[in-house]
Amino acid sequence: MFGFVVNRLLATIPVMMIVTIFVFLFLRLAPGDPAAVLAGDNGSPQQIIEIRERLGLNQPVLVQFGTWILGIAKGDFGKSYFFKKQVSELILLRVEPTIALATTTLIITILVAIPIGVIAAYKHDTWIDWIIMTLSVVGFSIPAFVLGYILIYLFAIEINLFPVQGYKPLAEGFWPFLHQLILPSLTISAIYIALIARITRASILEVLGEDYIRTAYAKGLKPNSVLLKHALRNAAVPIVTVIGIGIALLTGGVIVTESVYNIPGIGRLIVDAVLNRDYPTIQAIVILFSFFYVIVNLLVDLTYSLLDPRIRY
C-alpha cells in the first residue's frame, strides 16, 4: 500500500508539469493582452509597452516560463496583474467560501442520491422508480446557472425563505453560514444527485441478481439488511468512483454557481482573472485544481481496498 501511494504521488510530477506547460502556452496563444486591459480603453501604445515591460511580458516565452517555474518551486505563484496582490494571498482569502460550498454540496448529494438510488433499485419497474429516474433526468439536464436563477426567484424573491446572494463566514454563526449556502449547494448538487442516483440504481440492480443475495433472502434476512449490508456494500465501488469524479468536477459547478450567487470564492476569482487576462492568477488556480483532481483520484483508488477486500495494491 505504501509503495503504491508513493508511486502515485511521484506520477503526479510529470502530470503537473504537462499541465503547467499547457496552461502557460494556451494563455499566451489566447487572444487578449493583459497590458492593454490594464491600460484601459484610453491607454496609449507607449503606456501598453511600458506595462508589458513592467510585467515582464516583453521577454521571450521561454524566459517567462522559466521565471514562473522557479517561482513555483519557491512557493511563489507571482503577483496578480489585476488585483495587485500576491496570488497565494488572494487564494487564501477566497478558499473558505469555495471549500464550504463544495462540502455542503457533497453532503447533500450523498445524503440524497444514494438512498433514492437504492429505493429506485428496490422498487424497480414501479411508479416510484419511474418518478425517481424522471427527476434524475430533469436534474441532469438543467444547466446549473438556469436552476440557480429559478431557485433564487422561487425561494429568495417570491417566498423570501433564503437570502438572494452573498456569503456569511462560519465565524459569524453556524446558522447564518448554513442559511447562506443552502440554495447554492442545492443548485450544484442537483446534477450530481441525478448522476449518482442513476449509478447507484444500476449498480444495486446488478448486485440484486447475484446468488448470495437470494441466499440472504432465503436465510430470512430483512430486506433493509440485505440492501444495506450485502447489496450496497458490494455495489459501492462504482458508486464511490462516480462520487470521486463528482468531487473533482465540483470545480466547474462552483465557478458558475459562485458567479450566480455572488459568492466571493475561488470560482469568482478565476472568472475575474480570465476577464482581466490575469495570467498569474489563472495559472495558479488551474494548477491547484489539477493537483486536487489527482489527489481525489488517489483517495478513490485507496477507498476501493476498504470496500472490497479482494482489491490489493
Asked whether 278 and 82 are in contact (CB, 8 A), the reply is yes
C-alpha angle 90/280/71, rounded to 5°?
A: 95
Q: Which residues contact 66 (CB under 8 A, 6 or more apart)?
A: none
- 0.75 surpassed by pTM: yes
| Residue 312 belongs to a domain | no
Strand partners, 208: none
The answer to whether residues 20 and 96 belong to one domain is: no
Which of 73, 100, 118 is the last residue in one of the domains? 73
Within this chain, do residues 225 and 264 fall inside the same structural domain, yes or no?
A: yes
Both 178 and 44 in one domain: the answer is no
pLDDT at 1: 64
Shared domain for 235 and 152, answered yes or no, is yes
- Within-domain flag for 58: yes
| pLDDT tens series, the chain, 313 aa | 667 677 777 777 888 888 888 888 888 887 777 887 777 777 777 887 888 888 888 888 888 888 888 888 888 888 888 888 888 888 888 888 888 888 899 899 989 988 888 888 888 888 888 888 888 888 778 888 888 888 888 888 888 888 888 888 888 888 888 888 899 999 888 888 888 888 888 888 888 777 777 777 777 777 777 777 777 777 778 888 888 877 777 776 788 888 888 888 888 888 888 888 888 888 888 888 888 888 888 788 777 777 766 666 5
* 9 in any annotated domain: no
The 8-class DSSP code of residue 228 comes to I
Residue reference for cell 446534477: 191
Looking at the fold, whether 60 and 138 belong to one and the same domain comes out as no
Shortest CA distance to 177 belongs to which of 189, 192, 162, 191? 162
57 and 100: one domain?
no
In a domain, 40, yes or no: yes
Distances in Å between the Cα of 288 and the Cα atoms of 98, 105, 295 are: 13, 20, 11
| The residue to which cell 488572494 is assigned | 90
CB atoms within 10 A of CB 85: 12
Give the range of the structural domain holding residue 165, as residue numbers without chain letter: 92-307
Write phi, then psi, for 79 (nearest 5 degrees): -110, 135
Q: Look at residues 105, 113, 81 and name the one whose alpha carbon lies nearest to residue 203.
A: 113
User: Do 189 and 59 lie in a common domain?
Assistant: no
